[in-house]
Amino acid sequence: MVIRFAGDSGDGMQLTGTQFGNTAAALGNDLATLPDFPAEIRAPAGTLAGVSGFQLQFASHDVFTPGDGPDVLVAMNAAALKANLPELKRGAVVIANVGGFDETNLKKAGLASNPLEDGSLDGFKLYTLDVTRLTRECLKGSSLNTRAIDRSKNFFALGLMYWMYNRPMETTLQWLRDRFKNQPDVLAANEKVLQAGHAYGETTEMFEVTYRVPKAQVAPGTYRNITGNTALAWGLIAASKLAGIDLFHGAYPITPASDVLHELSRHKAFGVVTFQAEDEIAGVAAAIGAAFGGKLAVTTSSGPGIALKTEAIGLATMAELPLVIINVQRGGPSTGLPTKTEQADLLQAMFGRNSEAPLPILAPATPGDCFHMAIEAARIAIKYMVPVFLLSDGYLANGAEPWPVPKLADLPRIPVTFRTDPEGFSPYQRAADTLARPWAIPGTPGLEHRIGGLEKHEHTGSVSYDPVNHERMVKLREAKVAGIAADVPDLEVNGDTSGDLLVLGWGSTYGAITAAVSAARARGLKVSSAHLRHLNPFPRNLERVLRSYGQVLIPELNMGQLRLLIQARFVLPTIGLSKVQGQPLKVSEVLARIEELARSH
């Protein structure tokens, strides 16, 4: 089932969807979520620009996306209905809060007539109830003011949906008790409204059917619902423990990366230091200093902030220090679409520094995968003494899925060797297998050395203007990054290892591609998929995999950036599927392109 809660940005739709998702996860359903909200803190109420939505798909089988379109839309006002109506499946259920469809709301939404009455919804199953009035009646006599009472109406809608889908309320009731334990009047009001919404569904007999979604068949283990940003933060903490060094995070708040900073700041007990800098440059510069001092150094941002960090990232490249750079991508350019998703910073990560400055680039595929790719980024940064880009995006950052909590023994150790012996020490003397220079901590007797942005002598690290030395250093830095390919797993193929069509993706397109290819194969089409998590360097078997298929389709949330890199590297024709709407790919969009290519082949 796919449900979307939609209303004003102050109606608590994100909280409502999150609570429904947490309950689904606790019941053992597989799920995926898509929060979608305005960039403004107080978006204009009642307008299309102010609509906030939260969609989730939950099922008794594997779920790869939040769903293409809702089976059920809960619309708290006229603007929410208008904004989401084009996404609804024919025959879908619409539950509308009549209290949000008065003349003022209709005018703000740009509606000439009331869609609940003019036949606009004839193709859907419409249920109307005045959630606003019912909430006020439920809390009549409460000590809360009218504004606070109205803020509780989302819990009435949530209680109703719990009844419709046979969901217990206990997970949310416990959350309320924990959240409002010091505000007993607010706690009592929300508990009462949640239970009233459930009772309304049970007693009014206006709904002909209810639904039951059994638990999914999953491997035994301990699971929790996790968002991509939380998974990134936990992965970084785990990496610091696996490496046996403390974690330093230098960052400036920016949507949608700020939650990583927020989450890390809660875990000082694990040796985590978070530094909220005065600007983006200060954040990355502090992280570079921490890397020099022997910490697992991390900086996070989104595309505009990465642009500001560029010169300092070049400094880390020249100094050859381990630094994890996380870019939680969003729509651009400039401020662009701060709360919408995009994956258009791949070329920025690949080439967005002056001169020749190649860096490793990684990308997680799902919210839970963010945990493991954060560990992988730290491992590569430390092993090869190099800054590493990790490209997440807004869809992964805010989306959630059930995540199997790994056992510590199953996670890879990250060996760290600090140079302590001054005998024969040279700051840029390289290991034969990795080309990594030694990690020498400032203050270690006899290991004093210089770092900085000026070119280094090949061995001593002293400033060098020798042209031949400069060319050697450029080629050494390039060879070090290229050599990481030997440490990258082979690209795995989902489906036949050769055939008519391969769908190649990276980052958050994983879910839509996987679901679409599975559907296409069920229809008898000869199509396979593969997903890149290492984007620079590529897996060593990538070219062989690509040339095993008659056609290669590359869906991306950009204008074809991976496609450009593939064609430049392998001189191999590919087919693009680009989407730059601030929204994730739909399964139907990928499936339609697969079927079109199958018909024309």
Amino acid 471: pLDDT:
97
Is the pLDDT at 451 greater than 80? The verdict is: yes
Amino acid 450: pLDDT:
84
d(C-alpha 425, C-alpha 438), whole Å: 9
**Residue keyed to tokens 């950052």:** 397
d(C-alpha 560, C-alpha 513), whole Å: 16
> At 17, is the secondary structure helix, strand, or coil?
helix
Is the pLDDT at 40 greater than 90? The verdict is: no
Q: Report the share of the chain in percent with pLDDT over 70.
A: 100
Residue 185's H or E segment, with its range, is helix 184-203
Amino acid at 349: A
Cα of first residue to Cα of last residue in the chain, in angstroms, is: 34
Amino acid 187: pLDDT:
96
* Ramachandran angles phi, psi of 519, nearest 5°: -65, -40
Between β-strands 361-362 and 387-393, what pairing exists: parallel, antiparallel or unpaired?
parallel
d(C-alpha 480, C-alpha 358), whole Å: 9
Q: What is the chain's mean pLDDT, rounded?
A: 96
| Of 210-219, 290-299, 515-524, minimum mean pLDDT range | 210-219
Residue 463: other Cβ atoms inside 10 A: 12
Residue 158's H or E segment, with its range, is helix 153-164
Q: Are 76 and 7 in contact (CB under 8 A)?
A: yes
> What tokens appear for 240 in the block?
């610091």
Amino acid 208: pLDDT:
83
pLDDT tens digits for range 342-393: 999 999 999 999 999 999 999 999 999 999 999 999 999 999 999 999 999 9
Amino acid 413: pLDDT:
96
* Pick from 286, 342, 346, 277: nearest CA to 316: 286
Is the pLDDT at 601 greater than 80? The verdict is: no
pLDDT tens digits for range 570-587: 999 999 999 999 999 999
**DSSP summary character for residue 40:** S
Amino acid 196: pLDDT:
97
**Residue keyed to tokens 């909590």:** 405
| Of 241-250, 289-298, 412-421, 443-452, minimum mean pLDDT range | 443-452
* Ramachandran angles phi, psi of 383, nearest 5°: -65, -40
d(C-alpha 529, C-alpha 509), whole Å: 11
Q: Where are the alpha helices (DSSP H) in 265-393?
A: 280-292, 303-319, 346-351, 369-384
Residue 598's H or E segment, with its range, is helix 587-600
Q: Are 210 and 166 in contact (CB under 8 A)?
A: yes
Q: Where are the alpha helices (DSSP H) in 435-586?
A: 467-483, 510-522, 542-546, 561-570
d(C-alpha 293, C-alpha 286), whole Å: 11
pLDDT tens digits for range 137-166: 999 999 999 999 999 999 999 999 999 999
Is the pLDDT at 492 greater than 80? The verdict is: yes
Q: How many CA atoms lie within 13 A of 424 on its CB side?
A: 2
Please give the domain boundaries of the chain with CATH numbers for all domains.
2-203 (3.40.920.10), 224-410 (3.40.50.970), 493-600 (3.40.50.920)
* Pick from 551, 586, 594, 591: nearest CA to 572: 551
Residue 422: other Cβ atoms inside 10 A: 12
Q: Write the CA distances from 69 to 20, 91, 316, 587, integer angstroms.
A: 17, 12, 44, 10
Is the pLDDT at 408 greater than 90? The verdict is: no
Residue 294: other Cβ atoms inside 10 A: 19
Q: Is 91 exposed, middle or buried (0-12, 13-18, 19+ CB in 10 A)?
A: exposed
Amino acid 600: pLDDT:
84
pTM (predicted TM-score): 0.95
Is the pLDDT at 231 greater than 80? The verdict is: yes
**DSSP summary character for residue 87:** G
Is the pLDDT at 490 greater than 90? The verdict is: yes
> What tokens appear for 144 in the block?
């809360």
Amino acid 43: pLDDT:
84
For 96-99, the CB contacts below 8 A with 24+ separation are 96/126, 96/127, 96/128, 96/129, 97/7, 97/129, 97/130, 97/131, 97/132, 97/153, 97/157, 98/128, 98/129, 98/130, 98/131, 98/132, 98/133, 99/130, 99/131, 99/132, 99/133
Is the pLDDT at 42 greater than 80? The verdict is: no
